[in-house]
Structure formats: C-alpha cells, structure tokens
Chain A
Amino acid sequence: MKWPEIVREVAGRGAIVAFEPKDEGLLIGLHGENGATQQKLIESLIRLVRLGRQGNDRDPVREATYRDLAVYRIGDARVTRVGDWIWITNQDSVGKGLIDALHDGTDSSLANTEAFRTAARTGRDHAIWSWGNLEALREQAGGEGIPDRTDNAIGELLIGGLIDLARHVPDLTLVADVNDQGLSLSAVTPFRAEWTSEAREYWWGPEDRGQAPPRLAVADSLMQIEFHRDLSEMWLRAGDLYVDSTVDQFDQAESTLSTLFAGADFGEDILGAFAPTGHLVVARQTFDDPALVPDIRLPSFALVFDMEDAETMGPQLQQNFQDMIGFVNITGAMDGQPRLYQRNDSGDDWELAIAEYRAQAGADRQAKPINYNFSPTLGFRGKRCVVASTAQLARQLVTAELGEAPRSSADVSNTTAIVESATLAAVLDDNRDQLIAQSMIDDGKTRDEATRDVGILIELLSWIDAATLNFSHDEHRAELKVDLTIAPPAESGR
C-alpha cells in the first residue's frame, strides 16, 4: 500500500486536536476511512517500538483493556482505536472520559454546548477549525489576568480594544482555509456591547460604531493601516489606560508639545482638531539625487487625518511646522548635523510645506547618514492633513484617492491593514548590503554565505503577494481576519 493511500485510510476524514487545561490533557483523534488499516498501523508502530528495546529493558509498550477496548501505552501516549477513529492522549483521565462518553453518551459533552455548536456551524465549511474555551484559560490564569493599565502606548493604540474582548469573551473559534490564492485565517468571538470599556471609547468609537476609513490608493506601499482612534480622547484618558510612569511621560510630552504649538493644549486643541479616523502609510522611497542617497534606506511613513476645521487649523499647523524645523536645525547644528531647508509646493487644491536636506559642497564623507532618509513634510488638501517623513510620500498622499469601503460580513470594520510583500522585498533589496554586513558580523558568516542567505530571504518574500488584516464586528460577533495571498507564478521571479 502506498503512503497517500495509508494516510487517506488512517486520517482521510480529518483530525481533531483538543486540549483540556485542568489536567493539561491533550487529545488527538484521527478519523480514517478504514478501521482495519488503522489497526495495522497501530500494530506496526508497536512492533517498531519493541524493536528498539535494548537488552533487559522493560517492554516499552504496555497493553490494557478498558471497557473491551485495547489501549496501548507507549511512553506518555495512550493509543486506542474506536471504529474508524484512532485516539491518542497523554492523560488516563482524558482517555477514560472519552471512551465512557462514546459508550454511554453524556450530557456534559462539549458537543452539547451552544457555544461549541455555534463554532462547529462556523467551522464546518472550512479546511481547519478549532475552538478554545477562553473562560477556562482565564480561570487557569487565576489572578494573573490581563492588567487594567499598560505601559505600552503603541500596543494600546493598536490592540487596546482587543484587550477589552480578551477579558470577557467566553470562547474563540479559529478557522483556516487554503486555496490556490493563498491562506485565510480567521478568529471569531462572540461580541457584546457591555464588554467594551468606557476608557476605550476612543478605540471603539461612540456606541462601538467607530469605522475605519477606506484605503488610500498608494504606489509602492509597504504597509497601510486604516483605523478608528480618537487620539484626543485617548490622550485625555491616559490616566485610565496607562500605568503611572507612562502617564508621567504623557504629561512631560504635553508640556513640550504645548510649547511647540504656541501654548495650545495639545490633547484638547491640537489632537481634538482632527477627525477620529486616520491612515498610517509606510511606503518604499526612491532617491533621485545621487548626492543624497543614505547608506541605510528606510521606507517613508506618514499619518493622514481629516481636520475638523481646516481653515483654522491649516495655517496654525504650518506655523508650528516651521517652528519645529527651526528648532530641529538649531539643536542639530550643535551636534554637527546637516540643516533642513524649507520650501513650499502647491497644486490646484493642495499645498505642501517641505523641509529637506541638500547636497553639501565639499562633503567627502563616505557614508551618508541616516538623516538623508527624511524630508519632513506637511500637506493639505481640503480637510485632509498629511504628516509625512518624506516629501515624496506626502505628495502622493495629499492627492491619493480613497478606495472602496472594506467589505465585511460584520457591519463595522474598526481596523484594516495590508502589508505588500513585494514592496517589503524591494525595501530589503535596497538595503541588501546592510543585511549582508549584519549577517557577516552577527552570524559570523562569510560574504558569500551571507549574500546567499539574504538572497534566499528576499526570494522567499517575493513568493508572497500581500497579507491583509481586517478587524470587524456587529452586535453579536467580532472577527479578526488575515488573508495571505501568494504571488502569481509569473511574478514569483521578481
């Protein structure tokens, strides 16, 4: 019998993996098409294990019978066959409980719970699905649950709302599908409005209806995140969200930023002047002037928001931008840093305030410093405000069209994201020499070895097209969905 045939007859109808936290019991079930083949496999396995026995060693396989079923113990594993199922577990209690349930039936089976049945309905159309009892996990963790406040401001901004859910959701269903286009993973949980905390209204939006904006059309984008986050509210609620040391840092930042913004209240007046939705865009940048190419080539990044009152805020932000660049030039000059030159650029309905480095006469330094990755730019078009690390990206974003609203089975998409693998590969390729040098010095490789390994990494990335993420919910259900698409074969050689 050939291997594919054996696999089909032993486990062709699927597999189940279950974990029981109380006894740390693991249970694996293989559902096959032929019980006789399964039995032969078990017996062959037992013979193989016994062949490995040395001298007067004890028999490594212990046989027992439980309710007329032969059970084999090999090391820590208990194996039995019931019909066309092979069951493997590491705990007697789990194995006995299973056999008892199969013989006698049970009312306390997982399969009888509504949560599990809902998960099964969700999962049955997918290649792989699993269900986890989060309530049991939380009980297991005891008092060491998720803390109320964090010291990680970026983490809070990204996943603060998910922390609310993690405190309350009773269970989690994971489903996965694989097809010609790639891999799709989804985590689905129940959702109740009362689980979202008041402190995180900035994250969820009023009545949990915070909707991420549609995606911007950006060339050479490496990553884009669209989100609903009321940053003003987050800033003002810092005391509820962050640990005291982080709140102190917020206070210090508030003081400095208020100075830079001519005495305006940064949380209330400045952040409050923006709509609670935005975009974070990271894109590959290209360097046109050979005299201004840095040795480490970073991608550019930008934040895009809508202003509530563009006529008032636009000029004020421009003034603040000029002040800030002046401040950077003065402090940079003390460290011998090159200076930023300011200029403006404009079109029919947009304008940019740009600060950029220029080639220095007589400069003979071999390595162009990392500063040359930046040409800080502030852009406006109507209500749209762009704060970008480079003029190149700002110019693109200030006029970029909005795409269609993300489609979702649920009705509110709070956060969406995309990572373009081809651009990531291109950014790594831009820094190939750096990666090779790092591999040589940190891994002790020769240049040839490091060159080969970095080449393989970049090649592997070019096989993936993109990864998208969407977090959405309706009144009863929340879903975090990740799709990984594979690059079409014609493009795999990029």
Chain B
Amino acid sequence: MTSPTAIRSASANGASNVWEPFRPDVDGAWDERRVRHLVRRAAFGAGPELIETLVEMTPDDAIERLLTGTPDEATRQSESDALARTILASGDPKRLGAWWTYELITTTHPLRERMTLFWHGHFATGGDKVTDAEALYRQNRLLRDEALGNFRTMTHAIAKDPAMLVYLDSVTNRKAHPNENFARELMELFCLGEGNYSEADVQQLARCFTGWEIRQGKFRFNRYQHDDGEKSIFGRRSTFPDAEAVDWVLAHPAAPRFVASKLIRLFVTDAMPTDDELEPIAELLVEHDWNLLPAVRTILRSRRLLGDETIGTKVRSPVDLIIGLLRSFDGTANASRLADDLRRMGMGLFFPPNVKGWDGGRTWINAATLLERANGIGRLLQDDATRFDRRPVGEHLMARFGDDDDSLGKLAEVLLAVRPNDATLARLAAVGEGRSGAARAVARMHALAASPLAQLG
C-alpha cells in the first residue's frame, strides 16, 4: 500500500497554486457580490447586516468569522439543545427534521451547520429505518461536534454509533457470521471510494468489527463474539485490536483524496476535482492528522472558490435554495411545513434516500423536483407564518426594494448568483401585474426564486 507521505511528494510539483488565496487587488473586488457568493457556498446565505459586516472585513477575517461563528455560540448551542430535547419528547424523527430546519434558519454558525449537513449526507442514516429519534439526534450531535473538527475522531465515533449500526442492519455481529455491511460502507462510502479495496479486504475488515453490538440503544462490545484472530487487510497482517482497523483504513492513500474530493465538491464544484485540486487538500488532511479546519479554511480562502469563474456554477440543493432564501432576508417560517417541503424536493432532513446519501449536483434537478421547488417556494412565500425581518413578506419587500423599475434588479442581486439579462428581467417584471403592491412583490419574488437561474449558486 502507498504510504500517506507519498501524497506529499505528489503534490509538491507546483499544483498547490490552485488553492492560492484570493487577492482582492488582483483577482477582483471584495464586494457585496463576492461576499454573497461566499456565504451562499459556505453559509446558506446571509441577511443584509452580516453581508455588510463581511464586506467591511478583509477576506481572511470574513472567512475566520464564518469558521468560528459568533461569540455567543455556546449559549446559542445550549438553547438549540434544549429545543431538541423538547422535540425529542414526541419521539418522532419527522419532528426532528423540523427542529433541524429551524436550526438551519436561525443558527449563528451556519458554516458549522453546512458541514453537519454535509456529514449527514456522508454518514447517511435515515429515520425511515432508525425510528429511535433520540439515537438520530445523538448522531446529529456527534456530526455537529466534529463538523469542523477531526475526521478520524468522527469516523471512530460513527463506527460505534447506534443509529448508524441500526441503519446498516449491524446491531448484532457474530464471529461465526461476520456482518459485512459496516466494513463495506466504511471503505466504499465513508473513507476510500470504489476501486480501492478488494472483496477479501471487506471480509477481513468485517472480522474486526465482530462483537460490536447495539443493545438497548447503546453500543456494547461483546468480547465472546469478537474474532481476535489474525486478519490481512491491504496486505498488512495483524489482529487489529480495538478500533485499529479504522485507523488502518484511514491510513490508505486513497482516504485523504476521497475526503478532499468530497470537501471540494461541497464548496467549489459539482465536477470531479482534478488531481491538481485534490492533492494539496489531501495533503493538508494528512499533515494535520485529519483535522478538517486547515483544509476547509484553505478552500474558503482560495481564488478557486472566490474567483469570478466559480460564481453561479453549482446546482443548489433544496436546503441551499430554501434556507438560503430565508436567511438572505432574515426570514422565519413554519419549520414543520418547510421540512415537509424539503422532503418533497428530495432532501428530507434525517431521511436521506439511502446509505449513499444525496448524490448532489445535477441530480438535484429533474422535472418533478423542479416543479416541487417552484411550488415549495410559492407555499413558503404565501404562508402567513413566513416573515422577512419579522414583517409579512410583501410588506418587507415593498419597504426594502420599493415598487419601481429597479426593484426587480435589486431583488435579483440578493436572490441570484448570476444577474439575469434585461429580457428576462422585463419578462419577470410583468409577473403580478394588476395586483396590489405587496402581492405583486411576492409574485415577482416567487417567479424570480423559482427561475432556472435561481437554481445555481
């Protein structure tokens, strides 16, 4: 097996330029448009106040602000936990989806929530199979705690997470019949990707996890059912005691490239990253012993992300579209109905489609989901519970953008990554004609937010 140090040498051939920091004097103005792009990619959008604050900072300071959240984050997190505990009393995983939707709308650390959502798709676990809402919540806490923390720590915890093992039908794992589900997903979906392991590796790795059981909703190591004989994984022979096998999988050279690829696709592009893009980020992961912050910071600061050529090139997920819309207007809404709508659009929180999570990118969009997106936005804007900056939607739009010819253009600047051309604006301006000012403003916003351009971020 290639050692991790091989990655360093591979990336030392000038490829690191790809992730050079964005420089406002050379690469473009650090203005409202670019900050909106940053928060769209890193933070589900932001209201006018935060946008203004970030524009006034240097790019590096603005990104640090996103990476660390607000100073009152601890208090905010404890309030969030209290709300979750109250919701858990219902025992319904669907209510948990409503709770998370509320968190996404109101969080003061949106980058951490974005990363939590990303890990939820990575270590996909669904309420359709795991009906214990508390187990799902505990996994969610684990993902949030390590969202910008350490991938090794997170993977070790996931290996013993009750919700994950229930989801993978691995509540029992006896040495006589090793359950291969977790071993297979650990390599294929969580750490390495297809083509980097053999079927024999799966069988041998599965033996390492025998005796790992879930009883009464908790992890239990049953030493009598653990196979403590010698195994051979990626050519190394060992008994792999405790959880050493997880570390050995993470030591595979494909592991940092696999995680780096997913991080780049999260923030930068829907396309498969090139080797030049992959290697430096993979190297950072190895260099910092799987601490995620340096890699994420490098991506967020980069010209590759913040440059003009990247703006408006990624298909927005339903959460990006809907939560982004609300957060851009300091909005609040009925989170239960919103969670249902997200599910209709193909992104039910706590209900990923399968163990692979969401494919993302272009797969978000098809005739059915596009229609659901338009309908969902319509329902959201028409819902009495929806407020923008504590005011009814139409009233807020009228007060902030007015009703003149420029209003649609100003609204488009907030909503869209790419400015529509004049013909599109003229067509959209005709929407809602004959209605009162506020109703017309809502109708125009609906048309704009549901337009093809709004699906890109």
Contacts and interface: CB of A to CB of B under 8 A. Distances in A.
Contact of A296 (B90, B98, B385): B90
B181 interface: no
B83 A370 contact: no
A363 to B, nearest CB: 9
Contact of B87 (A441, A444, A447): A441
Nearest to A445: B332
Contacts of A434: 86, 89
B448 interface: no
B334 A443 contact: yes
Given A370-B91, A444-B387, A437 B334 contact: no
A440 interface: yes
B79 interface: yes
Interface in A302-354: 336
Interface string B119-146: 0000000000000101000000000000
B217 A440 contact: no
Interface in B351-410: 385-387
Contacts of B208: none
Contact of A369 (B85, B91, B216, B385): B91
Contacts of A440: 83, 102
Contacts of B334: 441-444
Contact of B89 (A294, A441, A447): A294
A233 interface: no
6 contacts: A366-B85, A366-B88, A368-B89, A440-B102, A442-B335, A443-B334
Nearest to B339: A441
Contacts, number: 68
A367 B332 contact: no
A433 B79 CA distance: 12
Contact of B86 (A365, A433, A442, A444): A433
A295 B217 CA distance: 19
A444 B91 contact: no
A367 B85 contact: yes
B445 interface: no
Contact of B336 (A294, A441, A445, A447): A441
Interface in B305-332: 331-332
B99 interface: yes
Interface string B80-113: 0011011111110001001101100110000000
Contacts of B132: 336
Given A367-B134, A444-B333, A296 B217 contact: no
Interface residues of B, number: 30
A244 B82 CA distance: 47
Most buried by A among B89, B335, B385, B387: B89
A336 B217 contact: yes
B216 A437 contact: no
B81 to A, nearest CB: 9
A443 B336 CA distance: 9
A53 to B, nearest CB: 21
Given A442-B98, A442-B335, A444-B386, 14 more contacts: A295-B86, A295-B89, A296-B90, A336-B132, A365-B134, A370-B89, A433-B82, A433-B86, A434-B86, A441-B87, A441-B99, A442-B334, A444-B387, A446-B106
Nearest to A434: B86
A441 B134 contact: no
B99 to A, nearest CB: 6
Contacts of A366: 85, 88, 134
B41 to A, nearest CB: 25
Interface string B156-177: 0000000000000000000000
A444 B105 contact: yes
Contacts of A442: 98, 334-336, 385
Interface string B43-59: 00000000000000000
A446 B79 CA distance: 11
Contacts of A294: 89
B85 A441 contact: no
Nearest to B336: A442
A381 B100 CA distance: 51
A366 B91 CA distance: 12
Given A336-B216, A444-B332, A437 B88 contact: no
B98 A441 contact: yes
Contacts of A437: 83, 86-87
Contacts of B79: 447
Contacts of B91: 367, 369-370
In the A-B complex, the 5 residue pairs with the smallest Cβ-Cβ separation, listed nearest first, are A295-B89, A444-B332, A437-B86, A367-B88, A441-B335
Nearest to B326: A444
Contacts of A441: 83, 87, 95, 98-99, 101-102, 334-336
B399 to A, nearest CB: 19
Contacts of A367: 85, 88-89, 91, 134
Interface in A436-454: 436-437, 440-447
Interface string A350-378: 00000000000000011111100000000
Contacts of B99: 441
A436 B134 CA distance: 20
